[in-house]
Chain A
Amino acid sequence: MKPRRPPLDRAAAAAAAARFATLAEPDVAYAIVDTPVGQVVAANTRRGLATLSYADHHGGIDRVLEALSAGISPRVLEAPARLDEVRRELDEYFEGHRRDFDLALDLSLIRTPFTKRLLQATARIPFGETRTYRDMATAAGNPAAVRAAGNALGHNPIPIVVPCHRVLRTGGSIGGYTGGLDRKVRLLATEGITLDSP
């Protein structure tokens, strides 16, 4: 007689996998986090926050994970406990109790020096203030690259924390946003900024 394939206790397998997620030390730990502007995929490396992508943009959760896997390390694991600090600071920000994020950033997904400088400069725009795309191109070292700055901010992998929503068109119109304009308006309102002509 041949042994038959043993039955599977799927709940036990799931529990074992969940325990693995708490024990393992992945290169990239991620969690799906709910915010007032929708779900985001938050991902930490040992260096800091690498991704805070909107789950319904950037091609969806799978595409975000594939980008992390290809760009940083395939050791990508869902480990929500490792994103506790990120979740806490986001909650405080949306509740109006936090103006600056104290999170270290990992910009290793960013390939070009210009974009890296651009995001670093964007990260320093104070809460409740705005800049223009031209300001940011200049801050990144290339005043003529206004359009490039707009495109690069449109692909910002760490929105909210790297506040590209604070960058507007010269003249004050809203410009674009990586997660859709509704979110940009909402984030600006959170910081007490309303636009006359959106």
Chain B
Amino acid sequence: MAVLPPFQRFLEDHRDDVWRFLVAAVGRTDADDCFQETFMAAMRAYPRLRADSNLHAWVLTIAHRKALDTYRSRKRNAVPVEDVPEVAHHDPELRDGALWQQVRALPPKQRGAIVLRYAGDLSHAEIATALQCSEEAARRSLHEGLKKLRAAEVTA
């Protein structure tokens, strides 16, 4: 029978994935607060979790919700969303960073799908669960988001 690992081990096993995901989802500045909120919520719910749950998808779903909260409160507080810089083609690291900033400027569903897929490594089915939509809708959001990124790259 599967048994839930002690929370400390869960934290150690997933902290890197959650951190990488949140830096991509909300940027470095807000990542730490989101990280704290994510694991606070995870610890509250943890004893009720089924031992055979997919812990990776579960914690990234929580992180995704906390990222959404961050975007909502930014909107409320009228803090301007970070500038979207032009993509620098010569430096791959800079280009990646700029690309993730463009991802953060996408509409919520597309942004969520892309970050969960490419920073969180979730399957289409897991993304659908996290976004509370059908797998088909998750694929569509992903596709539309990628199309927008490509268009932005062409015009940059």
Kindly list chain A residues whose C-beta atoms are within 8 Å of the C-beta of B4.
Answer: 69, 74
Which partner residue on chain A sits nearest B18 by CB separation? A13
Please tell me if the beta carbons of A69 and B118 are within 8 angstroms of each other in the complex.
no
Kindly list chain B residues whose C-beta atoms are within 8 Å of the C-beta of A5.
Answer: 20, 118-119, 121
- For B70-112 the 0/1 string (1 means CB < 8 A from A) is 0000000000000000000000010010011001000000000
Kindly list chain B residues whose C-beta atoms are within 8 Å of the C-beta of A195.
Answer: none
Kindly list chain B residues whose C-beta atoms are within 8 Å of the C-beta of A74.
Answer: 4-7, 46-47
Kindly list chain B residues whose C-beta atoms are within 8 Å of the C-beta of A69.
Answer: 3-7
Please tell me if the beta carbons of A66 and B3 are within 8 angstroms of each other in the complex.
yes
**Choice from A16, A30, A73 contacting B19 with Cβ under 8 Å:** A16
Q: Is A26 an interface residue (CB 8 A)?
A: yes
Which partner residue on chain A sits nearest B103 by CB separation? A3
Kindly list chain B residues whose C-beta atoms are within 8 Å of the C-beta of A23.
Answer: 36, 40
Please tell me if the beta carbons of A6 and B46 are within 8 angstroms of each other in the complex.
no
* Bound Cα distance from A73 to B48, whole angstroms: 11
- Known contacts A3-B118, A69-B5, A76-B7, A9 near B23 by CB under 8 Å: yes
Please tell me if the beta carbons of A2 and B118 are within 8 angstroms of each other in the complex.
yes
* Bound Cα distance from A81 to B147, whole angstroms: 50
Kindly list chain A residues whose C-beta atoms are within 8 Å of the C-beta of B6.
Answer: 28, 65-66, 68-69, 74, 76
Please tell me if the beta carbons of A1 and B39 are within 8 angstroms of each other in the complex.
no
Kindly list chain B residues whose C-beta atoms are within 8 Å of the C-beta of A26.
Answer: 7, 43
Q: Is A88 an interface residue (CB 8 A)?
A: no
Q: Is B8 an interface residue (CB 8 A)?
A: yes
* Bound Cα distance from A16 to B43, whole angstroms: 15
Please tell me if the beta carbons of A6 and B36 are within 8 angstroms of each other in the complex.
no
Which partner residue on chain A sits nearest B32 by CB separation? A16
Which partner residue on chain A sits nearest B38 by CB separation? A20
Please tell me if the beta carbons of B24 and A1 are within 8 angstroms of each other in the complex.
no
Please tell me if the beta carbons of B19 and A12 are within 8 angstroms of each other in the complex.
yes
State the Cβ distance, A159 to closest chain B Cβ, in Å. 21
Which partner residue on chain A sits nearest B118 by CB separation? A3
Please tell me if the beta carbons of B16 and A3 are within 8 angstroms of each other in the complex.
no
**Choice from B5, B11, B31 contacting A17 with Cβ under 8 Å:** B11
- For A1-40 the 0/1 string (1 means CB < 8 A from B) is 1111111111011101101100110101010000000000
Q: Is B114 an interface residue (CB 8 A)?
A: yes
* Bound Cα distance from A139 to B95, whole angstroms: 74
Please tell me if the beta carbons of B118 and A4 are within 8 angstroms of each other in the complex.
yes
Kindly list chain A residues whose C-beta atoms are within 8 Å of the C-beta of B43.
Answer: 24, 26, 75, 77
Q: Is B50 an interface residue (CB 8 A)?
A: no
* Bound Cα distance from A75 to B43, whole angstroms: 6
Q: Please name the 5 residue pairs, one residue from A and one from B, whose CB atoms are nearest each other, closest first.
A: A13-B19, A76-B6, A69-B6, A65-B6, A16-B35
- 23 pairs of residues in contact across A and B, judged by CB atoms under 8 Å: A1-B149, A5-B20, A5-B119, A5-B121, A6-B20, A6-B24, A6-B119, A10-B16, A12-B19, A12-B23, A13-B18, A16-B36, A17-B11, A17-B35, A19-B32, A24-B39, A26-B7, A30-B8, A65-B6, A66-B3, A70-B3, A74-B6, A75-B46
Q: A66-B6, A69-B4, A75-B46 are in contact. List 7 more A-B contacts (CB 8 A).
A: A1-B150, A14-B15, A16-B19, A23-B36, A70-B3, A73-B47, A74-B5
